[in-house]
Structure 1
Amino acid sequence: MLLDRTVDLRRYPLEAPGGAAWNSLIDRVRADLAADGCSVLPDFIHPGAQEHLRDQGSSIAPHAHYDVETVNVYNTAPDPALPEDHPAHHTFPRGNAFVPRDRIPGEHLIHRLYTDPAFQRFVAACFDLTELHELADPLAGLCLNVLRPGNQHPWHFDTNEFTVSLLTHAAEEGGVFEYCPGIRTPETENLGDVAAVLEGRAGHRIRRLTLRPGDLQLFRGRYSLHRVSPVTGGTDRHTAIFAYSLRPGVIGSPERTRQLFGRLTPQHRATAVRADLLLD
């Protein structure tokens, strides 16, 4: 019932795994991800549900934790012991805000979609996985990103290996998604390449996407440096972020959680399962 009312199943047959249309779609998404770490499914949410999706997002946007901070791409504290040319020394103002999972009602479309078994099966297949897990993080597993006019989400890496996002409200102007696919790996930070992008010496590595409401984006954000350009005009940009992991129990670091949500939960104070040993 959820998928029937929400997803354009004629284009995206989530309810028919293994069929010809399903296999063709999965092959296309996997090819996109292999080529540049990103795949976009236009109008994944059918037009009849997009207004409802937008209104629900607008209703919870006031619950977003908003703060302007100075951050680096790893969201780590300043470390004078690092070499002078280390990309962690490049800092940016971050003025976006996040509504955490525990402030998103369970009946909202994004919450129901995030936990829907058919949707999770589809996402796992797109990333060529036998299974995936919702983040154990009670705040970051599902959130609504709120980007107000005049603000941006600066260059960063995601905590989880891959991210699935859904634009629910477009900015009047700006708010372009920019990314550098595969700029690091699970084993190597590739600090020189990251620094080159931050210093404006590697514009050729940057790819740009202008997303529309209802578009679903599958993205390898753990290994691709990315940002959202400044929003201009008179409207916010809202994006639902569905965070899954290859391993159960993954929780964000206390420092980053406090940056994004302004608070911690008991789970963040316990020993968390991390996906790898990258800086963050």
Structure 2
Amino acid sequence: MAAHQSRRSGGSAILETTDPAGIAEVVDTTRYPLIESGGALAETVSAVRDDLRRDGCSVLRDFVRPALLDVLRAECAELAPSAHFDSEIVNAYNIATDTPLPEGHPGRMTMERGNAFVARDRIPAGAIVQRLYTSAVFRRFVADCFELPLVHELADPLSGLVLNVVEPGMSHPWHFDVNEFTVSMLTQDSETGGAFEYCPNIRSAEAENFDDVRSVLDGDGGRLVRELTLRPGDLQLFKGRYSLHRVTAVHGTTARHSAIFAYSERQGVIGSVERTRQLFGRVLPAHLAAARRSVRGDTLLD
């Protein structure tokens, strides 16, 4: 019988599975042997580590079993209408646009953010993306790939696992992630547009490299930008805290959907009040409490 642990996330019960067989139902374990402990798994992890060291990004093609791709798409498409949408003017650092900054600082350059997010507490426990996010086996794999002893789900009741929705005519402009690394999966592709572009390791925990960031935002930093082709069911592991990235404008009649699985090296991570309200249109008591005991892992602007 599967081993499960029931706990709470926001207002909904989340079922954490420690059953390797549950992962085997979702993941193509022939290609990606997450439930093994031998050489095949080690080879997969080693290849991902090499990608991340070199490019800050690795993609595992067809991670989800092909037979489940229609289910994956349908589950997330059903959730998409509950996304919070609020087109707004932002900067790449997701800080207040009136933050006092010196002339020429890239944080003074603004863009329109037109994507929307389905919050974690709207995603059912039985959905494929929720089963992956809460799986101890999957979490162990993610930690190994990022060369970490372990990773934790975000304690944030709204963030952690979200569905990113980019409707036709909209985009997710250049930005850095708040968390150190991100795992994501395209669940529905757009007809045209919606390309994922990124600048590998354009900054570090020690250096902001504002000149390079400003060059990309100005449109003059093409040499720093890479474009990545993603397909539904592909798993993307990404160091988004240090790599500036965006989703270009979506065109056609089909929205672009992607699930974002956010983990952290630290326990108890909860998003800031301003950032949470920006993304979800609401904050919960947990966010207000966390603001009073905020702990930072670096000294970067955001």
TM class by smaller structure: over 0.9
For the aligned residue pairs, the C-alpha RMSD in angstroms reads 1.0
CA deviation string 1:205-233 (max 9, x = no partner): 00001100000000000010000010001
Q: 3-state SS of the aligned residue for 2:170?
A: coil
Match of 2:300 in 1: 278
Structure 1 position 81 matched with structure 2 position 100? yes
Q: Distance in 2 between matches of 1:88 and 1:215?
A: 32
Match of 1:161 in 2: 180
Q: Please, which of 26, 30, 35 is the counterpart of residue 6 of structure 1?
A: 26
Match of 1:238 in 2: 257
Q: 3-state SS of the aligned residue for 1:160?
A: coil
Q: 3-state SS of the aligned residue for 2:143?
A: helix
Structure 1 position 140 matched with structure 2 position 159? yes
- Deviation, 1:80, is 5.9
Match of 1:190 in 2: 209
Q: 3-state SS of the aligned residue for 2:269?
A: coil
Query: What are the within-5 Å matches in structure 2 for residues 23-38 of structure 1?
Result: 23-38=42-57
Q: 3-state SS of the aligned residue for 2:187?
A: strand
The one-letter code sitting in structure 2 at the alignment partner of 1:166 is: M
Could you say if the C-alpha distance between residues 80 and 260 of structure 1 is closer, same or farther in structure 2, counting changes exceeding 3 Å? closer
Could you say if the C-alpha distance between residues 2 and 22 of structure 1 is closer, same or farther in structure 2, counting changes exceeding 3 Å? same
Match of 1:100 in 2: 119
Q: Which range is displaced more, 248-257 or 86-95? A: 248-257
Asked if 1 retains the 8 angstrom alpha-carbon contact of 2:90 and 2:97, the reply is: no
Q: Distance in 2 between matches of 1:261 and 1:247?
A: 23
- Deviation, 1:164, is 0.1
Q: Distance in 2 between matches of 1:80 and 1:141?
A: 27
Q: 3-state SS of the aligned residue for 1:31?
A: helix
Asked if 2 retains the 8 angstrom alpha-carbon contact of 1:252 and 1:272, the reply is: no
Match of 1:128 in 2: 147
- Deviation, 1:6, is 1.0
Q: Distance in 2 between matches of 1:273 and 1:261?
A: 22
TM-score, structure 1 length as denominator? Answer: 0.97
Q: Distance in 2 between matches of 1:159 and 1:132?
A: 15
Q: 3-state SS of the aligned residue for 1:217?
A: strand
Q: Distance in 1 between matches of 2:140 and 2:50?
A: 18
Match of 2:89 in 1: 70
Asked if 2 retains the 8 angstrom alpha-carbon contact of 1:249 and 1:272, the reply is: no
- Deviation, 1:112, is 1.2
Query: What are the within-5 Å matches in structure 2 for residues 15-30 of structure 1?
Result: 15-17=35-37, 19-30=38-49
The one-letter code sitting in structure 2 at the alignment partner of 1:275 is: G
TM-score, structure 2 length as denominator? Answer: 0.90
- Deviation, 1:273, is 3.3
Q: Structure 2: state its 5+ residue gaps.
A: 1-20
Could you say if the C-alpha distance between residues 246 and 80 of structure 1 is closer, same or farther in structure 2, counting changes exceeding 3 Å? closer
Count, aligned residues: 279
Match of 1:264 in 2: 283
Q: Which range is displaced more, 250-259 or 269-278? A: 269-278
Q: Distance in 1 between matches of 2:257 and 2:71?
A: 13
Q: 3-state SS of the aligned residue for 2:121?
A: helix
The one-letter code sitting in structure 1 at the alignment partner of 2:29 is: L
Q: Distance in 2 between matches of 1:80 and 1:23?
A: 46
Q: Distance in 2 between matches of 1:202 and 1:25?
A: 33
Q: 3-state SS of the aligned residue for 1:74?
A: coil
Asked if 1 retains the 8 angstrom alpha-carbon contact of 2:133 and 2:261, the reply is: yes
The one-letter code sitting in structure 1 at the alignment partner of 2:23 is: L
